[in-house]
Amino acid sequence: MASGEGRRHHHDLVPLAALLKREMKSEKMEKPTVRIGQAAQSKKGEDYFLIKIDCQRVPGNSSTSFSVFAIFDGHNGNAAAVYTKENLLNHVLCALPRGLGRDEWLQALPRALVAGFVKTDKEFQSRGETSGTTATFVIVDRWTVTVASVGDSRCILDTQGGAVTTLTVDHRLEENIEERERVTASGGEVGRLSIVGGAEIGPLRCWPGGLCLSRSIGDMDVGEFIVPIPYVKQVKLSKAGGRLIIASDGIWDAVSSELAAKSCRGLPAELAAMQVVKEALRTRGLKDDTTCIVVDIIPPDNELPPTPPPKKRNKLKDFFFVQEKVP
């Protein structure tokens, strides 16, 4: 009897390899699908973007993958935007302790983002260049979205039911009272540009330097009042997923967050990004570099929205929306 019981229990055992395979299958089932679209039109040539969908917390382990999306809107030249695009991600990852599980990694991510922004700023300023840039940096790990930003490039989240949430804070002195108070409390001066006769024109700026942003990377010529410390927000989506719209101020100066989200609902990500840029151009014309990334985080059991039938080819539209290859 004892040997029979032993044989029965032996047959109930599941090989370790089968257990691991089962866990990976379950993990794959609950992992969302990510779809990406990007569109842009250049006026000054100072907008840059980053899309990386092949990052891994543990090299060689596909179950630890995450994606990175970012927009860098340069000013006073493109040097800071280019440098930040090429170096910020590495500085963030180097600031994360090794050997962390996923939950601990996500918990450590906000602090690592701050450290990465500060290090990128310090290294760029050591080059002696006066260029600066905004940075809106988004990491998507399954259902968790972490956003760090300086400047006025914005990231919004559109979820089921039409709720639109802004995941960034605009660091424009004209609109951000808390930032004005921070700058003046630390000894900076906030005011408009004065012209002959004493009249003041344009948006509020920080002096010395005259930058209308209170936070950026670079800008070594504007003093210590402009800081690279980002606003960081981390959210966990419901299993219904959502859509991220990440864009430079060429979009947000023309359309509200709500209008941008509404204008592209029902479209797949690639067409959605094009539609947001099109809406901004229709509203305001091409006054600035205009860049948009759309990221759809889709439940694995949901079908993608249908793609509208192809329309007659429009050469002007092709000129507007030349897709930059993913780095």
Q: For 261-313, how does the pLDDT look when each residue is reduced to its tens digit (9 = 90+)?
A: 999 999 999 999 999 999 999 998 888 899 999 999 999 876 544 444 444 44
Q: For residue 199, what pLDDT is reported?
A: 81
Q: For residue 316, what pLDDT is reported?
A: 42
**Angle at Cα 237 formed by Cα 231 and Cα 242, nearest 5°?**
95
Can you tell me the distance from the alpha carbon of 93 to that of 109, in angstroms, rounded to the nearest whole number? 9
Question: Do 199 and 76 share a structural domain?
Answer: no
For residues 46-70, give the mean pLDDT: 93
Question: Do 189 and 48 share a structural domain?
Answer: no
For residue 143, the domain's CATH number is: 3.60.40.10
Please, what is the average pLDDT of the chain?
A: 86
pLDDT band at residue 6 using 50, 70 and 90 as cut-offs: very low
Can you tell me the distance from the alpha carbon of 31 to that of 18, in angstroms, rounded to the nearest whole number? 20
pLDDT band at residue 12 using 50, 70 and 90 as cut-offs: low
Q: Are strands 231-236 and 65-75 parallel, antiparallel or unpaired?
A: unpaired
Show the tokens assigned to 64.
Answer: 């630890």
Question: Do 57 and 178 share a structural domain?
Answer: no
Question: Do 205 and 59 share a structural domain?
Answer: no
Q: For 232-251, how does the pLDDT look when each residue is reduced to its tens digit (9 = 90+)?
A: 999 999 999 999 999 999 99
The most confident of 136-150, 172-186, 219-233, by mean pLDDT? 136-150
Percent of the chain with pLDDT over 70: 83
Is 243 part of a structural domain of the chain? yes
On the CB side of 219, how many CA atoms lie within 13 Å of its CA? Answer: 28
Question: Do 176 and 165 share a structural domain?
Answer: no
The most confident of 96-100, 196-200, 222-226, by mean pLDDT? 96-100
Q: For residue 312, what pLDDT is reported?
A: 46
Is 312 part of a structural domain of the chain? no
Question: Do 205 and 77 share a structural domain?
Answer: no
Q: For residue 319, what pLDDT is reported?
A: 38
Specify the residue for token string 């109930």.
12
Q: For residue 267, what pLDDT is reported?
A: 97
Asked if residue 139 lies in contact with residue 67, where contact means CB atoms within 8 angstroms, the answer is yes
Question: Do 73 and 46 share a structural domain?
Answer: yes
For residues 34-45, give the mean pLDDT: 94
Can you tell me the distance from the alpha carbon of 180 to that of 185, in angstroms, rounded to the nearest whole number? 8
Q: For residue 254, what pLDDT is reported?
A: 95
Question: Do 246 and 150 share a structural domain?
Answer: yes
Can you tell me the distance from the alpha carbon of 57 to that of 63, in angstroms, rounded to the nearest whole number? 9
Q: For residue 318, what pLDDT is reported?
A: 42
- What is the residue range of 110's domain? 33-169+228-305
Q: Position 100: which residue type?
A: L
pLDDT reading at 204 higher than 90: yes
Instruction: Kindly compute the dihedral angle of the four CA atoms of residues 222, 224, 225, 228, in this order, to the nearest 10 degrees.
Output: 90
Is 2 part of a structural domain of the chain? no
Q: Is 162 left (phi over 0), alpha (psi -120 to 50) or beta?
A: left
Is 130 part of a structural domain of the chain? yes
Q: For 82-138, how does the pLDDT look when each residue is reduced to its tens digit (9 = 90+)?
A: 999 999 999 999 999 988 999 999 999 999 999 999 999 999 999 999 899 999 999
Question: Do 192 and 141 share a structural domain?
Answer: no
Q: For residue 15, what pLDDT is reported?
A: 61
Is 222 part of a structural domain of the chain? no
pLDDT reading at 324 higher than 60: no
Specify the residue for token string 């891994």.
56
* Predicted TM-score (pTM) of this structure: 0.83
Q: For residue 313, what pLDDT is reported?
A: 44
Question: Do 48 and 140 share a structural domain?
Answer: yes
For residues 179-189, give the mean pLDDT: 91
Instruction: Kindly compute the dihedral angle of the four CA atoms of residues 104, 105, 107, 113, in this order, to the nearest 10 degrees.
Output: 160
Is 11 part of a structural domain of the chain? no
Question: Do 93 and 62 share a structural domain?
Answer: yes
Residue 209 vs residue 122, higher pLDDT: 122
For residues 212-225, give the mean pLDDT: 92
Q: For residue 24, what pLDDT is reported?
A: 54
Can you tell me the distance from the alpha carbon of 134 to that of 115, in angstroms, rounded to the nearest whole number? 16
Is 28 part of a structural domain of the chain? no
Asked if residue 307 lies in contact with residue 268, where contact means CB atoms within 8 angstroms, the answer is yes
Q: For residue 14, what pLDDT is reported?
A: 56
pLDDT band at residue 166 using 50, 70 and 90 as cut-offs: very high
Phi, psi for residue 139 in degrees, rounded to 5 = -115, 125
